[in-house]
Amino acid sequence: MQNVKNVSLFQALVNAKATGSLKQTEKVEDGALSDRISGGAQGISNYIYNLVKDAVKLNCPVSFVTQLESYILIGNDDLSVKTKKVIVTAPLPVVKNIKFTPELPIEKQTLINSMEMGTVIKCNAIYDRPFWEETGLSGSMVCLDEIVELSVDNSVPGSDRGIITSLIHANRAKELLQLSEHERKEILLKAYANIFGEKALNPIMYIDYSFTNNPWIGGAYSGLFKNGIYSKYGKYLTKPSGNIHWAGTETSTLFKGFMEGVVLSGERVAKEILNQN
């Protein structure tokens, strides 16, 4: 177990309950990780984007939200929009990038300043075929003592290619992020070779990504509160700040940290606004 001193036990228990149990969050059969989205998760965003294209402004980060008497002004140096309501869905740690006028209530500021995103690197090694199957192996491993703690066979159904994907978390991820992508690749491939054989050393492609380096997301899988914050301020997560409403996976009561939680938070915030009108 890593980074335990930074983990709020209360938040961990609440998150586990929100998904059924700690075990349920990790299960690949009949659990939170049992289904895959054909074509990748981005397909859902792309599908919704195509439905509402004209109303969406891409590559346009909000830098200010100003609540005036009869409307809100939201935007950045290049573009601003007048609106009655704002729904903030950015992870709380990166809400710091937005200047709110008047300032947000102190409870909300405390939440924003006390939440950190976790650290995860997603690493993919792509092979011309799933060679591990030839020796009866699954392509999946759990190896708690190694820097590569787990891998799964992430090959795409219908494709000849074989893909091994690893998710590397917390301190191990922080260590690997100090290295170049080439150095990370060497470490991962050696670990795969130890388990799956020498063929693992020769992928046709290797690619990894960490949201820690993305200034608009800040990390993964979701926000973690410092100890003592959630029990005191958790109830303010969803509380509207005037005409500013809050959604996103951290604000959901169920499936926090999952896409399911995002959808549920969207439904909750839509009802919240409709009920006010």
Sites of contact with ligand FAD (CB under 6 A)? 33, 61-62, 89-91, 94, 97-98, 120, 122, 167, 211, 216-217, 220-222, 248-249, 257-260, 262
Distance CA 138, CA 148 (A): 16
Contact indicator for 187, 147 with CB cutoff of 8 Å: yes
How far CA 221 is from CA of 115, 217, 244, in Å, comes to: 13, 10, 24
Residue facing ligand FAD at closest CB distance: 220
Contact indicator for 24, 258 with CB cutoff of 8 Å: no
Residue closer to ligand FAD (CB basis): 94 or 115: 94
- Smallest gap from residue 35 Cβ to ligand FAD (A): 9
- Smallest gap from residue 216 Cβ to ligand FAD (A): 3
Residue closer to ligand FAD (CB basis): 130 or 257: 257
Q: Could you tell me if residue 39 is left (phi over 0), alpha (psi between -120 and 50 degrees) or otherwise beta?
A: left
Residue closer to ligand FAD (CB basis): 139 or 248: 248
Contact indicator for 119, 174 with CB cutoff of 8 Å: yes
The percent helix, strand, coil of the chain (3-state, each to 5) is 40, 20, 40
110: its two tokens:
């405390």
- Smallest gap from residue 135 Cβ to ligand FAD (A): 28
Residue closer to ligand FAD (CB basis): 37 or 201: 37
- Smallest gap from residue 269 Cβ to ligand FAD (A): 11
- Smallest gap from residue 136 Cβ to ligand FAD (A): 27
Residue closer to ligand FAD (CB basis): 98 or 229: 98
131: DSSP letter: G
217: its two tokens:
């997301």
- Smallest gap from residue 60 Cβ to ligand FAD (A): 7
Residue closer to ligand FAD (CB basis): 117 or 200: 117
